[in-house]
Structure 1
């Protein structure tokens, strides 16, 4: 999705029949087949605060349980010791209405409930922390549509795009340099913003991904086959070493530009590629020009 300014005919809009408020925003989000506009607040501070509250409650419950454990050690009452060792005895005393067993069972049930809630919140927060921030290109287009000529939502809801550091995208696109370059120049389907003046361009992210994959395959095949063919016909050892260096550098550059590989992965891929070329050069291959 790209953004732009209308400089002529108003054209047609992809929004169809007009809606208002949350219905309007929801439909605009749903129009994006790649779901890049599924951008929301993650409320990171509130999530952290909720975990701290749950943790504090569990610390209190843990302290109470430890105090009961200390009482079990100090007591001379064999029935209480049996209840501490045997679950069946503890439940029998609870069924009989004995206060010590009732307090312990209630505390255990509170811990089980609160611990489950805490662990679920912890796992959810862990998953949410893995979500990436929305693409700046998409976020700019979203803001343009959302805020002009007036905010699409009222109240506090109209401010949710004002905190970019707390926003997450449910489906973020690839961020390799080749994909970014193609998105900036990809043909789009024009759509006017709500003010009728600013144009927003939509395009299929899948088409960009297919193009990037095709270019990557062609480049990879050329670097592998082309290097082997070139090294086969060159007879000078110095020229062969120079070609290995050039092809390896080109390969590493292509991996860095066309993929999201990390530095360690680029080094590993370049080393493997160079190893293939070195093995080829060092082999005893008949050369008609030798």
Structure 2
């Protein structure tokens, strides 16, 4: 596979590398031109309406109150007002479609730095375009197009901090140290892929086990320690650790972390209250 066929295979195999230009400047320019056309057309329509009102013609004066008269006109000639309205209708349809599409493009996020780095390295190693403009369409000669890139798939969206850390740091380090010896590159693209779904499942299992272990170990430690001051210190340490791990292992808001930490502290206090050992 060569050229765009090979690049398409890369994007299909790794959704995180579905990186494209958004052409924000050109899209904005297109909207501005359409808007200017509509404004000029609207101004011309207002002039025509005024002419029809002041024409002294019985039928032309009825155009503003009867769409039927406006469409039928006089004889075989279509009224200029109706022609202009149809022209304006087409422009509005193009403008509204372009505006909604541009709004969707603006919601797309830029590619993550790690995916961008991998994608750029692949492009440099596989110079598949025969023209300079097409080769530089993603990054440009001096990366001037880098800020115009968007990712159609957010690999790091809707995942916790632990999963993002595994994607960005753990997997690349593992591949550099050990994985490159056993990993086999894809036949079509020559790249080595790691299954995102398996990574997410593994981090979820880790989160589940950790969330179960923290309260249990906390109760064990508090039960084994006799001195109340040490117990209170342990509660503080466990609460800090619990809050940090909650922020790392779960997609929780600050208020949710605060509420969970408060509830965890309350459980520990209730435990030492019911089992005084001093």
In the superposition, the TM-score normalised over structure 1's length comes to 0.72
Find the partner of 1:58 among 38, 60, 64. 38
Please tell me whether the aligned partners of residues 36 and 172 of structure 1 are also in contact (alpha carbons under 8 angstroms): yes
In the other structure, the counterpart of 2:71 is 94
Please tell me whether the aligned partners of residues 41 and 166 of structure 1 are also in contact (alpha carbons under 8 angstroms): yes
In the other structure, the counterpart of 1:152 is 128
Task: Confirm whether residue 183 of structure 1 aligns to residue 171 of structure 2.
Answer: yes
Task: Confirm whether residue 215 of structure 1 aligns to residue 174 of structure 2.
Answer: no
Task: Confirm whether residue 84 of structure 1 aligns to residue 31 of structure 2.
Answer: no
How far the C-alpha of 1:74 sits from its partner, in A, is 7.0
**1:171 & 1:147 partners in 2: Cα distance?**
22
Question: Relative contact order (alpha carbons < 8 A, sep ≥ 6): 1 or 2 greater?
Answer: 1
In the other structure, the counterpart of 1:170 is 152
* 41-50 or 241-250: bigger deviation: 241-250
Task: Confirm whether residue 45 of structure 1 aligns to residue 25 of structure 2.
Answer: yes
Please tell me whether the aligned partners of residues 145 and 193 of structure 1 are also in contact (alpha carbons under 8 angstroms): no
C-alpha change, 1:178 and 1:29, in structure 2 (3 Å) is closer
Which SS does the other structure have where 1:153 is aligned? coil
**1:84 & 1:248 partners in 2: Cα distance?**
73
In the other structure, the counterpart of 1:21 is 3
In the other structure, the counterpart of 1:248 is 239
Which SS does the other structure have where 1:161 is aligned? coil
Please tell me whether the aligned partners of residues 240 and 281 of structure 1 are also in contact (alpha carbons under 8 angstroms): no
Which 5+ residue runs of structure 1 have no aligned equivalent? Answer: 1-18
Please tell me whether the aligned partners of residues 233 and 289 of structure 1 are also in contact (alpha carbons under 8 angstroms): no
In the other structure, the counterpart of 1:277 is 264
Please tell me whether the aligned partners of residues 252 and 270 of structure 1 are also in contact (alpha carbons under 8 angstroms): yes
Q: Deviations over 1:101-139 (max 9, x none)?
A: 722222222222222211211111121122222233333
How far the C-alpha of 1:71 sits from its partner, in A, is 5.9
**2:266 & 2:79 partners in 1: Cα distance?**
76
How far the C-alpha of 1:242 sits from its partner, in A, is 3.7
In the superposition, the TM-score normalised over structure 2's length comes to 0.74
Higher helix share: 2
**1:28 & 1:221 partners in 2: Cα distance?**
40
In the other structure, the counterpart of 2:88 is 111
C-alpha change, 1:114 and 1:65, in structure 2 (3 Å) is same
Count of paired positions: 258
Which 5+ residue runs of structure 2 have no aligned equivalent? Answer: 140-144
Q: Over aligned residue pairs, what C-alpha RMSD do you find?
A: 3.6
Q: Deviations over 1:142-165 (max 9, x none)?
A: 3333223x6211212111232221
Higher strand share: 1
Please tell me whether the aligned partners of residues 132 and 169 of structure 1 are also in contact (alpha carbons under 8 angstroms): yes
1:110-129 residue pairs with structure 2 within 5 A? 110-129=87-106
